[in-house]
Amino acid sequence: MKAIRVHETGGPEALSYDDVEVAEPGPGEARVRLAASGVNYIDTYQRSGLYPKELPFTLGLEGAGEVEAVGEGVEELSPGDYVAFASAQGSYAEYVVAPAENLVPFNVTLVEARVAAAVMLQGMTAHYLTHSTFPIQEGQTVLIHAAAGGVGLLLCQMAKMRGATVIGTAGTEEKAGLAKGAGADEVILYTEQDFVAETKRITDGEGVHAVYDGVGKETFDGGLDVLRPRGYMVLFGASSGPVPPLDPQTLNQKGGLFLTRPSLAQYSADREELEWRAESLFSWIGQGNLDVRIGGSYALEDAAQAQRDLEGRKTTGKLLLIP
């Protein structure tokens, strides 16, 4: 089969389109023929070596497709079932062999396989951020950075479902329009406007209850300034670069703020929690209550271009690789 592998870490040119053997599933595993694989920021961190891995390795953590074979002891899945996943290493490929406990079945007549692949990682992230990390209460106001991004568009929709007033930020007018379409009440063009001043103006100087920040370095300090006393800074990514170390006293000076830096793995390690999040997404999609924007689909061999576009701030919504 074809797979995108990394032999040496580096830029997008480090991605190699290789021929590799299709593996047999071992005990507790299943082999999935992929309909689509999701492209995520974490793949770029693995590629560059920021998140070190033993070389060579096949990239990709997310995807969806049809179970083709199951290993010993797997009773909950059978060939022909459709499954989606957010944590099975090696999904930039035609097939992946993964632990069955990481795979979530879905009804392919209700949710298209490409949509399932597109929603797992970013959708479960938006779910845990809005339902568990800072569980939004009706009537609260939140600021969502990069609101037209993959996680951003889903965060906007889920924050609205929970009854929030949503202020988004976006880099271009086109992106601002998409964020509004996803429910953002106000969108600040943070490439042209001072988002701190704008957020204070929109909230009549009161500030927001929580900031969801996946941008990191360029937005973090400003985010602390727009939180109301005892507000929550939910820092979940670093698309503009990592946030430098912080003196805890800053949180006191700015109003007794809370700061957390969570990852999906901490909010989906438990099978029940994984199923709760994934099944919520599938049921919202099936009912037409959650729109998953696939902003770009690329052939598997064009994975490097997909990553260039993601890192180059050129994309909206989700990027998929089609094997």
List of residues contacting ligand NDP (CB under 6 A): 40-41, 121-122, 125, 146, 148-152, 170-171, 175, 214-215, 218, 236-240, 262-264, 310, 313, 315
Query: In the 3-class helix/strand/coil scheme, how is 137-177 assigned residue by residue?
Result: CCCCEEEECCCCEHHHHHHHHHHHHCCCEEEEEECCHHHHH
10 Å CB burial of residue 265 (0-12, 13-18, 19+) is exposed
The set of residues, in sequence order, having a beta carbon less than 8 Å from that of 222 and lying 6+ positions away, is 195, 196
Distance CA 244, CA 118 (A): 31
Residue 4, SS3 per DSSP: strand
Query: Least distance in Å: CB of 240 to ligand NDP?
Result: 3
Tokens of 285: 């999609």
Tokens of 220: 């973090």
The set of residues, in sequence order, having a beta carbon less than 8 Å from that of 139 and lying 6+ positions away, is 163, 164, 165
User: Which is closer to ligand NDP, CB of 25 or CB of 152?
Assistant: 152
Query: Least distance in Å: CB of 204 to ligand NDP?
Result: 25
Query: Least distance in Å: CB of 269 to ligand NDP?
Result: 12
Query: Least distance in Å: CB of 184 to ligand NDP?
Result: 12
User: Which is closer to ligand NDP, CB of 82 or CB of 128?
Assistant: 128
User: Which is closer to ligand NDP, CB of 69 or CB of 126?
Assistant: 126
Query: Least distance in Å: CB of 278 to ligand NDP?
Result: 14
Calculate the alpha carbon distances from 263 to 48, 126, 161, 210 in Å: 19, 11, 22, 17
Q: What angle do CA 150, 314, 240 make, to 5 degrees?
A: 75
Distance CA 11, CA 15 (A): 8
User: Which is closer to ligand NDP, CB of 257 or CB of 294?
Assistant: 294
User: Which is closer to ligand NDP, CB of 6 or CB of 310?
Assistant: 310
User: Which is closer to ligand NDP, CB of 29 or CB of 198?
Assistant: 198
Query: Least distance in Å: CB of 187 to ligand NDP?
Result: 10
Query: Least distance in Å: CB of 313 to ligand NDP?
Result: 4
The set of residues, in sequence order, having a beta carbon less than 8 Å from that of 309 and lying 6+ positions away, is 296, 315, 319
Query: Least distance in Å: CB of 286 to ligand NDP?
Result: 23
Q: What angle do CA 46, 6, 30 make, to 5 degrees?
A: 80
User: Which is closer to ligand NDP, CB of 41 or CB of 232?
Assistant: 41
User: Which is closer to ligand NDP, CB of 67 or CB of 151?
Assistant: 151
Q: Which residue's Cβ has the minimum distance to ligand NDP?
A: 149
